């Protein structure tokens, strides 16, 4: 099972907020030992990003839901590495580590002797992952930045939201920090590739992953659309730029997502809708034609779908093989039979906070619940145990 794939790998995690912790949580879920180094007083910034949070009955240290989302399975060690003694402690941790992850400003750790050049002398096999806003070089390398900034700067918000001239028009961010999350995923892939390379070379290396690069890459087909056509994509609400009809429609009692991906699906949809002639109409027979004529097709689709309850349509779509989807609230998500079947809700127990409910890592599909990582740690929860072990190395 993948939950043991990185057993024996030691990670020193100096990262905070989301992108770095998302990466190190992946590594922990895959079996690595992740030692999260936090300031003894402040800890990771997101510890205070609540409510909601969990609080022990005795009124002690709380833990925000945000922090819990990206820090399970880690050991928290409280060290102030801005002091000479604290920096020395981190170097001790790194001496036999495989990976270090940090997300300070470019060059920010060099004054503590915790930069790659310094630590590579201590441990030449160290894979040193730096996550920054703008990268390790360039005119903006030293500038800090958060996910929201890069959703705008990288182009994502320029075509996300309702189109001009419609209610609520204007740029819109995604509902979660998608650039941070994808940076964490790219970082995870880079670390795993670096481990494979180290098997061949015997040496570690520095990795430079930044949110700006990820934000630009995230444009995916929208970016390719621009590079091919020279035309910047515009906001189109819930409509898809390359498939049609592929958007949200209102039924008599709610909404559904109609996700037509090819002409055969559209023909089957048209038959279910009671208008098989649409599939024979030159304006709608092909995907490219539908994209060009959605202004005339959309009102007809809206009128038909609004004429009946959602279940009438969804049952008929399922029978005909027409792709569709619901728009669930999160209570509906976690009560859905398929979500429950996949075991996506993970319940674990913290010795102080009690039951903690988290989302299973999709990398671990098919893994038994009891084989997953421990609950997220309280600040400094493992300091004594980890540092005592250091003294015996």
pLDDT score, position 58: 84
pLDDT score, position 369: 56
pLDDT score, position 391: 62
Q: For the packed helices 383-390 and 84-95, what is the interaxial angle rounded to 10 degrees?
A: 70
Q: For the packed helices 263-272 and 310-320, what is the interaxial angle rounded to 10 degrees?
A: 130
Among 161, 154, 153, smallest CA distance to 234 is for 161
Segments of the chain with pLDDT less than 50: 393
Tell me: the pLDDT tens digits for 299-309?
999 999 999 99
Instruction: List residues bridging with 129 in a β-sheet.
Output: 101, 207
Out of 180, 263, 315, 384, which one is annotated catalytic?
Answer: 180
pLDDT score, position 198: 98
Q: How many Å apart are CA 239 and CA 159, to the nearest integer?
A: 11
Tell me: the pLDDT tens digits for 210-258?
999 999 999 999 999 999 999 999 999 999 999 999 999 999 999 999 9
The pair phi, psi for residue 262, each rounded to 5°, is -155, 175
Q: Is 180 a catalytic residue?
A: yes
The alpha-carbon radius of gyration of the chain (Å, integer) is 25
User: DSSP states of 277-304 as a string?
Assistant: HHHHSTTTSSHHHHHHTHHHHHHHHHHH
Structure tokens at 327: 């728009």
């Amino acid at each position: 099972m993948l939950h043991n794939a990185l057993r024996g790998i030691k990670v020193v995690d100096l990262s905070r907020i989301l992108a770095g912790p998302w990466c190190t949580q992946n590594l922990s879920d895959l079996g690595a030992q992740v030692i999260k180094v936090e300031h003894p007083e402040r800890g990771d910034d997101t510890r205070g990003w609540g409510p909601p949070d969990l609080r022990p009955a005795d009124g002690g240290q709380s833990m925000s839901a945000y922090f819990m989302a990206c820090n399970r399975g880690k050991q928290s060690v409280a060290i102030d590495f801005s002091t000479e003694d604290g920096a020395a402690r981190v170097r001790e941790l790194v001496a036999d580590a495989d990976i270090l992850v940090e997300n300070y400003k470019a060059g920010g750790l060099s004054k503590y002797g915790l930069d790659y050049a310094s630590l590579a002398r201590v441990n030449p096999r160290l894979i040193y992952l730096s996550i920054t806003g703008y990268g390790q070089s360039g005119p903006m390398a030293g500038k800090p930045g958060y996910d929201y900034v890069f959703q705008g700067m990288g182009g994502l918000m320029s075509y996300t939201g309702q189109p001009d001239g419609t209610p609520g028009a204007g740029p819109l961010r995604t509902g979660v920090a998608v650039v941070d999350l994808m940076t964490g995923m790219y970082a995870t892939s880079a670390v795993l590739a670096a481990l494979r390379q180290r098997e061949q070379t015997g040496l570690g290396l520095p990795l430079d992953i930044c949110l700006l690069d990820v934000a630009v890459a995230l444009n995916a087909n929208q970016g390719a659309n621009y590079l091919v056509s020279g035309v910047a994509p515009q906001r189109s609400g819930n409509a898809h730029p390359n498939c049609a009809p592929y958007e949200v429609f209102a039924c008599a009692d709610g909404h559904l997502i109609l996700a037509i991906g090819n002409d055969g699906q559209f023909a089957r949809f048209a038959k279910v809708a009671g208008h098989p002639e649409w599939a024979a109409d030159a304006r709608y027979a092909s995907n490219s034609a539908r994209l060009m004529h959605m202004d005339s097709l959309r009102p007809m689709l809206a009128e038909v779908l609004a004429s009946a309850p959602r279940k009438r349509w969804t049952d008929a779509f399922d029978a005909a093989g027409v792709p569709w989807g619901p728009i669930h609230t999160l209570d509906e998500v976690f009560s859905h039979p398929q979500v429950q079947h996949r075991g996506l809700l993970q319940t674990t127990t913290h010795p102080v906070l009690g039951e903690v409910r988290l989302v299973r890592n999709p990398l671990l599909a098919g893994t038994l619940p009891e084989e997953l990582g421990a609950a997220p740690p309280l600040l400094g929860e493992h300091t004594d145990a980890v540092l005592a072990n250091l003294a015996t190395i």
